[in-house]
Structure 1
Amino acid sequence: MSPSNPRRTAVAALGLVSALVLAACGNPSDGGTTEAAATEGAHAKINLSPQQDRVTTGKVDSIAAEVPEEIRERGTLELVSSSGSAAPLTFYATDNKTVIGVESDIAYLVADVLGLEPHVKTVSWENVFVGLDSAKYDVGFSNITVTEERKEKYDFATYREDNLGFEAKKDSGLRITGPESVAGRTVAVGSGTNQEKLLIEWSEENEKAGREPVDIKYYQNDSDVYLALRSGRIDLYLGPNPTAAYHAATTGETEVVGTYSGAGATLQGLIAATTKKGSGLVEPLADALDHIIDNGTYAKVLERWGLADEAVTNSEINPPGLPRTTP
């Protein structure tokens, strides 16, 4: 396996998410579970309790042997994720101390394959990278997007698509398939985000084509966004697809009506396990990810968190990332 190995999933695509028919089924604080439909008519329970009953798999000796000797002898895989992440990425169970989410579930599976005990730490976003730089942590599973700039300091083994999600009020009848779908629509977005950049580009494209621009709105927090969505003051909210899908699953008030690559129209953005460049871990990480993809445990984890639409077919080492921003 090498950086040039074509491990890519689909190229950038704008797709409707009929696979994300999501429904709320009770208060998570009552029974510790909620439900999401990974595919229409097929519901999977989301366990929010400390007793996670995680999906597990066995050690693969040939892949474990690829791990640098120092880590093998230590016997642990030091994992890090951002404490600022939201459900279903990395968050706390109902005991407010057990780290759960799709990121930790995939990290645990990788540790299983490598025969290592996973130690998961949550830190602020910037300290994820500080810890990787200092070798305090071996690998980051923290919804980290591959970028050309980051590739100078880190090695990446991909494990999920990086998609943005358009969230609308339940049964809105909206379907977002391109810039024309949001012409004249009122759309909320976070300031300074990749989502804002996309929305501004689409609005400008609409104007050039003689269509109405997008009425872009900014809110300070998510609660204000969802209040505006419920009251009809906005038509759509554009944010990260995992959090949009999870919100739809746990409230039943909204639905994801379209997704788009976080890298834009010509490149599918990818989320990757991130390790210090030259650490010797990227090959075993990618091989471990390929193994769990092949044996089906990876799919079970994504289905568990309602993210089956972000699956990749194999793990790619250091693929093309988001381009540098021109000053």
Structure 2
Amino acid sequence: MRTRSVFLAVALAVSLGACAAPDEAPKVAAAAAVKINDGPDQNRIVPARVDAAAALVPERIRATGKLTIGVGAAGSGFPPLAFTATDNKTLIGNEPDIAVAVAGVLGLEPQLANTSWEGLFIGLDSGRYDLGASNITVTEQRKQKYDFVSYRKDDLAFEVKKGSALKVAAPKDVAGKKVAVGSGTNQEKILVEWSKQDVANGLPAVDIKYYQTNQATYLALGSGQIDAYLGPNPTAAYHVATAGQTEIAGTCSGAGSALPGLIALTTKKDNGLVQALKAALDELIRSGAYARILGRWNLTAEAVTAGEVNPPGLPIEGK
């Protein structure tokens, strides 16, 4: 087993309801060094079955004794949320840890499946996966097809080359800038809306760029082909800490406004599983296992106090 010592950036410990550049963010003490175990032996927290929660699982799933879980970590993945261990096959990170713990409470054997972002939703639609645990943001459009139980705040970050003068706190700050974003993601929708606001205010549109892989995005950022990359705050802060070549220019809610964005366990709508997922998450929060899992990946600042079934979703359309 190999461990990696990293000093996770202050950005990972900052959770904001609206956008703010670093100089405007609340002052937070820097996090201490955290040892990240990226080997295949994860020694995950697997709670004992809780009968009251397990009884809520639909019979068709209970009969299999398994919970199939789609995790969108194809390619290089998204540390510290979901990525492959040093054996290049074992799924690790906060998202699989939460899903495995939920399965434990429900008395089910977790079956983790590494898939693409698109494949994750295809799998949920077809019933191949009972559950999606992959940094999925709750949106009003997605609620038409899926049921959700929120388990983490959705914060985003603008990552820039180290030494960049760019600070981002509002749409005007990226007017005319070249900003990369993942296609089909909630952050893409936010960036498109910001660009529209800039144009409406007489400013240049955001020059939105797309790359197939994280590696290609970071090569473009390092070479100056783009000014910034908008992605999940935990992933950006992890990269800042481990690569040492970039920094956070600003963070914001996944809503792109004061409306809080939420990350949720996701299941096919009306398949009967959502109340069991809520009961399991609430048990993890009550027992302290939830806090220990988030703390392991230095995501404590994004914790919620209770899971919500189908909470208000972002008005921005998601994929």
The interval holding the TM-score normalised by the smaller chain is 0.7 to 0.9
Partner of 1:163: 155
Q: Is the 8 A contact 2:70 2:134 kept in 1?
A: yes
Partner of 1:82: 72
Partner residue of 1:317 out of 292, 306, 309: 309
Matched, 1:67 2:57: yes
Distance between the aligned counterparts of 2:49 and 2:230, measured in 1?
Answer: 40
Aligned length: 298
Distance between the aligned counterparts of 2:231 and 2:65, measured in 1?
Answer: 38
Q: Is the 8 A contact 1:83 1:124 kept in 2?
A: yes
Alignment TM-score, normalising by the size of structure 2: 0.78
Q: Is the 8 A contact 2:156 2:232 kept in 1?
A: yes
Q: Is the 8 A contact 1:110 1:288 kept in 2?
A: yes
Q: Is the 8 A contact 2:162 2:245 kept in 1?
A: yes
Residue 172 (structure 1) shift:
4.4
Residue 154 (structure 1) shift:
2.0
Matched, 1:152 2:127: no
The SS at the match of 2:222 is helix
The SS at the match of 1:260 is strand
Residue 156 (structure 1) shift:
0.9
Q: RMSD of the TM alignment (CA)?
A: 3.3
Residue 183 (structure 1) shift:
5.0
Distance between the aligned counterparts of 2:168 and 2:185, measured in 1?
Answer: 19
Partner of 1:14: 19
Q: Which one-letter code corresponds to 1:296 in the other structure?
A: G
CA separation of 1:159 and 1:186: change in aligned 2, threshold 3 A? same
CA separation of 1:278 and 1:209: change in aligned 2, threshold 3 A? closer
Residue 39 (structure 1) shift:
6.3
Q: Is the 8 A contact 1:191 1:218 kept in 2?
A: no
Partner of 1:55: 45
CA separation of 1:118 and 1:87: change in aligned 2, threshold 3 A? same
Partner of 1:216: 207
The SS at the match of 2:256 is coil
Residue 50 (structure 1) shift:
0.6
CA separation of 1:51 and 1:187: change in aligned 2, threshold 3 A? same
The SS at the match of 2:33 is strand
Q: Which moved more, 1:81-90 or 1:44-53?
A: 81-90
Partner of 1:121: 113
Distance between the aligned counterparts of 1:40 and 1:324, measured in 2?
Answer: 33
Q: Is the 8 A contact 1:156 1:273 kept in 2?
A: yes
Matched, 1:132 2:86: no
Distance between the aligned counterparts of 1:305 and 1:78, measured in 2?
Answer: 23
Distance between the aligned counterparts of 1:132 and 1:197, measured in 2?
Answer: 22
Q: Which one-letter code corresponds to 1:14 in the other structure?
A: C
